Structure 1
């Protein structure tokens, strides 16, 4: 089987490569997903049996001023991949986001809840989902996720560890609620989907719910425990209004994961504290 991963340097792509070194990961220098010609030419020459789209425009704030670029990658690019998947009869596993929802529901989002994005990034990802379901409904699997972190790249965990080492105190937002997701665990879900031909829309995150403040406290706890931090520093909860950003964030974006038990062979995500502990141990081992 030739399973192609669209994306090479991102967190998910690197975790997928750790799972199976035989995966063919294609970066921007290898394929331009915004060009149908590039997609058809490159993928047709590689005897593809499955595709995992681990690429995306993810700069949430920057997307507000780079709308065209965000839509080209997150919508047009997905449409091109979807058309190829449908024509060639291979499964396309596509990773989407909690940002397709507004965050005002107050209870976990179901897989069939209506899109209500509140920013350009979320709107571009929602358009990508629509394109995939329109052009490859029988050859696609959408996995929505949230708050992704790992030992690779830039993410909240690594940023917090750096700031906790540099600062004497921190203020962390405590009124945005969601579920962290280890990129390593997400990679396993994508891997299962492409190997077992899972179809439809599903949600995958670590289990459990927390605020960014809760998450940060746990990062500090494990950072000290595993030697990445020398000491703890005071951290105080602050409201979103105290930390304005260009793009609005969902206040409550917990994703209901009940479909995993049936579609993913009874897959049970680990609690976010367990996954976080494992990632921080990985970081400590390469310090």
Structure 2
């Protein structure tokens, strides 16, 4: 029994949820004023409860036998995983109410959509374009707004057109990175009947699609920073994300020579470098913004 609960906790893949940190830091860096304690609680709700619950629910219905995001050799799914997911969902909603009913409502919507992605009677995951739209919208722009709302950003500030442009940018970045997380699962996805976007595009098509999406996302980001007269933010972003360009380029060249390079290990390395670099960029921007008053 103890081992069953231990396996269930592993399938929540809490460390893997940290790969979604850039959206959190991006949303905070775009706001002029946030509440520290509220932001900390939002981080806990999303990265320790909501995302792991979504990971666990996905594993519960996928019952993967091969590598999955964050776990090279996942344990077998058990019933304890289901009850852990339910417990995490309830905890996320109750803590969300501490911040506001509006934030809790957005958390509920996110949880329901994430369930529809994996639930066998709906399983959005079977539809390559619909599932991609759902993921990039809800893990991107929707979460961007949810973080700001939970952190105490005024609704009038959230609705400013340049802020909404940045929310769009978060979805554009996910549009590029999301298919890359699927490249090593083509065989298993095909056997299960899940026609993912990466499977639809093919291996090389996935890398081309990702490259174009990431370039467009970066261009829109820099344009929006220019509109907001935040050119220093552009420099900080480009400086911190240089490693992403290098690692991605090297990976593309390896895959061109040998398709086997599109492996679990390489995908996780790309995720790690991308997440850490982008988080560093937005944390640097956040610190820059809040240190400016002291420099005057």
TM-score bracket for this pair, using the shorter chain length: 0.3 to 0.5
> TM-score w.r.t. structure 1 length?
0.34
Query: Which has more helix, going by share of residues?
Result: 2
Query: Which has more strand, going by share of residues?
Result: 1
